[in-house]
Each structure stands twice: as structure tokens, then as C-alpha cells.
Amino acid sequence: MADEVKLFGMWASPYSRRVELALKLKGIPYEYIEEDLSNKSSLLLKYNPVHQKIPVLVHNGKPIAESLVILEYIDESWRNNPVLPQDPYDRAMARFWAKFIDEKIQPTARNANLAEGKEREQAVEECYQQLKMLDNELKGKSFFGGDTIGYLDIAALVIAFWPPKENMSTMLELAMKPQKLLLPTKYQDDDLHLPPMFDLPHGIFQT
């Protein structure tokens, strides 16, 4: 019996892209369903009644919501090309930093984007410090996952989706110095023969 995999997503959502990247890395065929978030489908509401959000993965009729929960599920259900490391401590670190991205970096970045004046300056500085901490985890490796893209690289993909509004660009400039952050360049690599899904909306990091 063939697996039936559906993904409810939204083209501009980095969380939906996380799931797509994991599915593509493992070569899992799936049907993609684009949701109009201003007019959510009854299917989406049926599959994610609690949050009513995308992404939702539906595997053989059973729905799973929350992008990081979905990543863990994908890794456990399709054992090829594992995205989480083997060692429990390394897995804990990957999970810790993914949480940090979602609970700290993302909200701070949003604040930096919306705030003005002194508040914006503070948010930008805070975000820079947070990015620095995450960047430090790369420690000379090609990816957080080592030589290949792993769970944390997939999670960190959201950073590539920050809109290039004036203030965000400024923040990214700040983030780039004094030492250039390694993070953003990772998503530009063509050598890995990644599927062409990295059509980043704004090509922020392209030189």
C-alpha cells in the first residue's frame, strides 16, 4: 500500500518550507495544498482544530501540526537521510537551538521589524546578540548538522525569510559585523544539488 502524504502550507510561510525541505531531503513524494489564510479551508480546520494553522502534514489520513513536531515525525517515519543526529546529547542541542529560534529569535525579529526609534534599536541589538549565539553553534562546520543539512539547519531556514524592509536590512547589516555571520550564506549553496525550492522571496543574502 502506497503512503499518502499531503502537506497543507502557504508559499510565504517559512514554517511550511521547513516541512517541504525535510520531505524533499528524504525523497518523500507528497501532495502540496496551498492554503489561503484569509479563507481557511474546511479541511485545514478539520485537520488542525486546535491552532487552525499551517503547516499540517497528513499521512495516510492522520494529521500532524506544528512544524518542529512534524520534523520529528518525518524523521521517525522515514529512516533514510536522518535529519536529527544520533547521539542523545547532540539531539538535545539541536532541539534546544530550534526552540531558541522559534521562541526568542523570531519574536525579537518581529519586534525589530515593527518597532520604531529607541525600541527598534534595542530589539535590533537583542536580535543581533541572539543571532550571534546561534551562529556560534556553527563553530567552523559547514552546517549545524555537520557536513549535511540537519534538523537545526532546516529550523534555521526561517531566518532566510526575513523581509528586506529598510529596518530589517539594517539589522542584517548589524548582524553581519564585526564578524560575518555564517548563517545566511548556508542557504545559497548550489553544490549540494538541493531541489530548487530555495527560491527565497527576496534574495537578501545574494551578493
Partner 1 sequence: MEEVKVLGSWPSPYGYRVQWALELKGVEYEYIDEDLFNKSDMLLKYNPVHKKIPVLVRHGKSIAESAVILEYIEETWPQNPLLPKDPYERAMARFWINFVDNKDKAAPIVTFFIGVGEEHKKATEETKELLKILEEQALGEKKYFGGDEIGMVDLAMGWMAYFGVIEEIVDVKILDAESFPRLHAWIQNFRAHPVIKSNLPDHDKLLVSYTQKRQMFLGSTTT
Q: What residue ranges bind partner 1 (CB under 8 A)?
A: 49-50, 59, 62, 64-66, 68-70, 72-73, 76-77, 88-89, 91-93, 95-96, 99-100, 103, 133
Calpha distance 133→204 (Å, rounded): 21
Question: Cβ 193 to partner 1, closest distance in Å?
Answer: 28
Q: Say which residues have a Cβ less than 8 Å from residue 2's Cβ, sequence separation at least 6.
A: none
**Local structure of 46: helix, strand or coil:** helix
Contact 65, 53 (CB under 8 A): yes
CB of residue 92 vs partner 1: minimum separation in angstroms?
4
Least Cβ distance, residue 189 to partner 1 (angstroms): 28
Of 64 and 187, nearer to partner 1 (C-beta) is: 64
Q: Is 161 exposed, middle or buried (0-12, 13-18, 19+ CB in 10 A)?
A: middle
Closest separation between CB of residue 76 and partner 1, Å?
A: 4
Task: Give the nearer residue to partner 1 in terms of CB position, either 40 or 104.
Answer: 104
Nearer to partner 1, 37 or 192 (CB): 37
Bridge partners (DSSP) listed for residue 146: 143
